[in-house]
Structure 1
Amino acid sequence: MSAMTGGRYVVETAAEQLAREQRAQWQQFVQARGELAALRAEADAYRSVYGSRIAKIPAGAKARPDQSPRRIATATADVALLVRGERDKLRDAVLAAARGDTGGLLGALPTPATSQASRRQWDDSLAQAPARSSETVSTATSTAGTGAAPDAEAARHQAARADRAAHLFARLPASTPEEVRRSCAEAVAEISTGTTASRGHLLLRDLERRVRAQARAEERIVQVRRDLLTVAAPLETVPGEAAEKLRQQIERLVAERVEHVPDGLRAEAAAIVEQADRARRRKAVADVLRVGLTDLGYQVDEGFETRLAGTGLAYAAMSGDTGYGVKVLLDHDDPVVRTQVVRTGGIRASTSEDKAAEQKFCDDYQVVRRRARRDGIPIEEIGRREPGERPVQVVADTAIPAASRRANEQRREQQL
């Protein structure tokens, strides 16, 4: 057996397992909640364009990170189902509004000066477009006519182009800059109200290019938002001002629609979460050591586990008011617990008495370890010194609880 020990612990308590399950479920809920928040914001933006034809989206189910994993999972499923259904409804509503808005688009076009500048921008863009095949050109020319009423085939192509333009316009993200949206609206209006087939094809091709560029830009922002939510989710499961402050910073980044995750943000968040997790595990170890020692008759002061988890050092007195005690230490950076038999300087003790005290604690410590394992905190021995191998360390009387209380009582008696 040993007089000084070192052991590496693993916290697998029911509370620790619950915390992991809650965090895993909360991660999924935060992503679903973020998708819903973005969809609601998108619907609100579309409402500013199309008015009441775009319905508001419900807020969805709520959850808290301290709820049961099953309850969080249920809320996540409800929110995800709502997002899927409302996204389809929103897409259909925007398409219907875009199809029926040809007149509205014309009425909402920019001022003449702006309109002419926008038209020149389109014409410059169309001039740079790659030439189509001779077959396409000849088809467009043949269907353009010379001013006569278009035949049924030309009318069908015209309707198809108008429908395609409406579909493309409906795919413009709600966040599209106003000048781009107006420019695209002009193209849709021109295609829908009639133009030559060749120009209609060119307008349609350029409209598709613009819509695709806006969609790609939106996809980048959406992916960054998801990344930021992944970083933020664990912060909601840990207490403390640092976690709250960083979470609020991430919320601002999401609201600002940033295009990249700031350097160092992930590492900062991970450090805060790890620090909180380490503190929780240290508290669990301190609790199980306090219970194990007190059950065997050791005396501890109030707050033993708080000091041990916080400062990494606490003392317990051996039973019998012998002046012997145990120093318990928790490493700050590693999951390691150390113990050492100590005694106060106020007692005279022989080497054999020191060795006997060390032997007693060694026997007791094995019981503490077995109980800790039973409670989900196995402690694997990584180092030890045998009883009598080194002198027992002498500490101040105030360090060991029983001796400290005895000294306090003596002082009170002297004061009387």
Structure 2
Amino acid sequence: MSGITGARYVVETPAERLAREQRAQWQQFVQARGELEALRAEADAYRSVYGRRIGRVAAGARARPGHSPDRIASATAEVSLLVERERERLREQVRAAAQEDIGGLLAAPATTGTAPASTTRRRWDDRTVAEPAPPAAPPPDTGAQERRRVRAARAAELLSRLPATAPDDVRAPCVAAVAEIASGAPASRAQLLLRDLEHRVRAQRRVEERIALARRDLTALAAPLETVPGAAAARLREQVARLVAERADRVPDGLRAAADEVVGQADRARRRKAVADAVRVGLTDLGYRVDEGFDTALAGTGVAYAAMDGDRGYGVKVLLDHDSPVLRTQVVRGGGTPADRSDDAAAERKFCDDYEVLKRRVRRNGIPIDQFGQVDPGQRAVQVVADEVIPARSSGAAGQQQRKQER
């Protein structure tokens, strides 16, 4: 073995597994919650068109990123069922309201009909003369009335499919077309209006589909950000919320990469802290001395020092790479300790023996280490560091622990 090592690690602690499960469940909950929020906004928009005939949609179950995975999953299932039920109810309410709005027009006679005949009597030279009645109106064409009703029903169905968020310059001509069809427009004119109405509705629904797809992408992008603390994540969440509120139809370039980087940094920091904690415990159990804040420094700056037991002036420099899961160690000597090759080699051999124990203890805490590099004792000069970076015996209670051997 050696006094210089390099190893890759994987964090499989209970806390890390819990964090992964929570995030996976949270991702699903946020998607369901996003669908519910969109449905509630859609219902409110339809209320502005059809009034109180359109009911409000309930807020649904609540959850937080820190809740247990089971609790989050339960809330997701409840919200998903609510969305399914309320979406169907909203569809029926809008359809019924659209049909109701043309009911009066269908009840009235067609505008192209003929006024009913009547018989009048006039007085002429002291005589009452009955004038002949005009020709009787032809009986109603029940076939034409049925075709009018069918066209009006089709128009109402198309209008009910027009998104509530359609702008006025789209909705107004659609409403006018439905009214004209229901009022008895000639068949050729009615067919023309129906084709135009269908085209307008289809085009507006395509717009809404693009907005809905972008909203789902933005929601998926924002979900892990809700599990991450810090100002950077908060700014991105605000940006996503603003884009959803503005009904963006695409995800801006670079936003996904920025969100992934913020989440990745938070995940790496969490795992580095877990490794730093495990290394600190392992070293102190083996009799090494560490200053208070060893794990914070190691996780934050990536460098921390532990002193070997005794007052020989030797210690271990521990390093964590920032962008990759790599742990490195190196035996060091304080600048005030006289240089001696045999003492250097002895310190390196001692740490080599302890390193095997340290690896087993860290692995037992859920962080397996796969060593990929080493330098044999004596092959390189021991690095000299300032005396003050190596913890002194009086640095804390950790230095009073007895060395525990594990063989």
- Same fold flag (TM > 0.5): yes
Q: 1:373 — aligned with what?
A: 363
Once the two structures are superposed, the pairs formed by residues 120-139 of structure 1 within 5 Å of their partners are none
- Is residue 393 of structure 1 aligned with residue 386 of structure 2? no
Q: 1:93 — aligned with what?
A: 93
SS of the residue aligned with 1:59?
A: coil
Residues 386 and 284 from structure 1, CA distance in 2 versus in 1: closer, same or farther, beyond 3 angstroms?
Answer: same
SS of the residue aligned with 2:248?
A: coil
Q: 2:284 — aligned with what?
A: 294
The partner residue of 1:156 within 130, 146, 157 is 146
Once the two structures are superposed, the pairs formed by residues 199-238 of structure 1 within 5 Å of their partners are 199-238=189-228
Partner AA of 2:210 in structure 1: R
- Is residue 165 of structure 1 aligned with residue 129 of structure 2? no
SS of the residue aligned with 1:314?
A: strand
Q: 1:53 — aligned with what?
A: 53
Alignment deviations for residues 349-374 of structure 1 (CA, whole Å, 9 cap, x no partner): 53222211111111111111111112
Alignment deviations for residues 59-91 of structure 1 (CA, whole Å, 9 cap, x no partner): 000011111111111111111100000001101
Q: 1:32 — aligned with what?
A: 32
Query: Comparing both structures, which one devotes a greater share of its residues to helix?
Result: 1
Q: 1:114 — aligned with what?
A: none
SS of the residue aligned with 1:95?
A: helix
Alignment deviations for residues 227-270 of structure 1 (CA, whole Å, 9 cap, x no partner): 11111111111111000101100100000001111111111111
Residues 403 and 345 from structure 1, CA distance in 2 versus in 1: closer, same or farther, beyond 3 angstroms?
Answer: farther
Distance of 2:138 and 2:388 partners within structure 1: 109
Q: 1:16 — aligned with what?
A: 16
What TM-score does the superposition give when structure 1 sets the normalisation length?
A: 0.85
Partner AA of 1:16 in structure 2: E
SS of the residue aligned with 1:383?
A: strand
- 1:105 deviates by 9.3
- 1:148 deviates by 4.9
The partner residue of 2:346 within 348, 352, 356 is 356
Which structure 2 segments of 5+ residues have no match?
A: 107-136, 397-407
- 1:295 deviates by 0.6
Q: 2:122 — aligned with what?
A: none
Residues 258 and 105 from structure 1, CA distance in 2 versus in 1: closer, same or farther, beyond 3 angstroms?
Answer: farther
- 1:175 deviates by 0.4
Partner AA of 1:269 in structure 2: A
Question: Which has the higher mean CA deviation after the structures are superposed, 341-350 or 372-381?
Answer: 341-350
Q: 1:128 — aligned with what?
A: none
Q: Which contiguous aligned blocks of 4+ residues in structure 1 show a shift greater than 6 angstroms? A: 103-106
Identity of aligned residues (%): 68
- 1:391 deviates by 2.0
Work out whether residues 7 and 328 of structure 2, in 8 Å CA contact, stay in contact via their aligned partners in 1.
yes
Alignment deviations for residues 271-297 of structure 1 (CA, whole Å, 9 cap, x no partner): 111111111111111111001001111
- Is residue 44 of structure 1 aligned with residue 44 of structure 2? yes
Q: 1:269 — aligned with what?
A: 259
What is the root-mean-square deviation of aligned Cα atoms in Å? Answer: 1.7
Partner AA of 1:356 in structure 2: A
The partner residue of 2:242 within 252, 261, 264 is 252
Work out whether residues 44 and 56 of structure 1, in 8 Å CA contact, stay in contact via their aligned partners in 2.
yes
Q: 2:133 — aligned with what?
A: none
